Amino acid sequence: MGIATVNPATGETLKTFKPLTDEQIEEKLATAQSSFEQYRQTSMEQRSEWLIAAAEILERDKEKFAQIMTTEMGKPIKGAISEAQKCAWVCRYYAENAPKFLADTPVSTDATSSFVRYLPLGVVLAVMPWNFPFWQVFRFAAPALMAGNAGLLKHASNVPQCALAIEAIISEAGFPQGIFQTLLVGSDKVEKIISDDRVKAAALTGSEKAGASLASAAGKQIKKTVLELGGSDPFVILESADLEAAVSTAVTARMLNNGQSCIAAKRFIVADRIADEFQQKLIEKFQTLKVGDPTDENTDIGPLATPGIVADIDRQVRETVSMGGKILIGGKPLDDRPGNFYPPTILANIPKGSPGEIEEFFGPVALMFRVANIDEAIALANNSEFGLGASGWTKDEKERDRLINELEAGAVFINGLVKSDPRLPFGGIKRSGYGRELGVDGIREFVNIKTIWVK
């Protein structure tokens, strides 16, 4: 696939970009390294000023940036504006908190003075996905830049204008030229870039396949990586749950970003006694969702990002049904219009071994499961290769504690929507990746945690 803006609502190719040549990549790597050598000497106060300026640009031009996101990957415009605002939040968060997070930590030993100092690593490569094309980048860039690192962004090939806009924001904010650069390259160039001695580490958000490829290439060079990969998040609803709140949140949890979110609720695991009522209410709410033009503020579900994603979802649904699954609503691509549209869909009676049981569904498809009790619920929730997020619904304290302790995930939200928050560490376990973004843990991933001992 080339590097291009293809409007997923119409299928129209709006703009194409030439990938960088090897000579241009070398020039950018050299610029990144020389910029880092200077930038690492800047004060925390100066970096904070620049990052706050970036936040102000994001807030000032949020509608413009939202339009780019919506045009390139189909995100409903309301969600795109919110995404730009959330990027401003993460910039302000690290501008305000990084000096505290990276302050020397004194430790009492046999030395006259001993402490831990956090120093930047150097040039860090970020390989980022299209689904949250601004947020994924800024949640990497804000802590990386505050820590004194330089950033290279290899963004998904279908969101090049987002990638260039982010570089422009960071430049306009006052950061030194070359400290954050976009590389318009295909995925075939990533291994060579991570192998370059000037690149010290890498972060990737994306598919398992992409994560394994990057981790393998970095591992050969003994370089640090942080991976945030796929998820098949369980949404567990027990008998004592507030059913109305659970249903309402379930719709948002599945349909956010047209269902294209790693931490979207995908498997709805419901206690038998309330399953019929939950299922009926969920169907009713799905029926009210408006699918259409993502630039229309009344649209709930826009197009999926690429034709390939529609084809993948269609295959997964058809295979699950052919093995015995049942479609309760939706279930077929919307071919009565141009663009990559798939309707809100619910699958039930999901057979063992089917895609509905074992694969991640990256689109507006909810998977319904029924369980007799909390033991079955936890076992089914954990019966997955993924472990990113989990949502549990109960009013019972003992059940709450069991869900917190026993659900295998990087985050467990009780009676709420799984979401990322600058104040909390974000990441997964199992095949959902390793390492953490956000919070104090996120900024300490790409630093040299240096022990200092003085006598």
87, 91, 162, 262: the active-site residue: 262
The answer to whether 277 is a known catalytic residue is no
167, 228, 408, 445: the active-site residue: 228
φ, ψ dihedrals at 294, nearest 5°: -70, -15
Name the one residue in this structure whose structure tokens are 């309330």. 274
The answer to whether 162 is a known catalytic residue is no
Q: Would you please indicate which residues are annotated as catalytic (active-site) residues? A: 228, 262
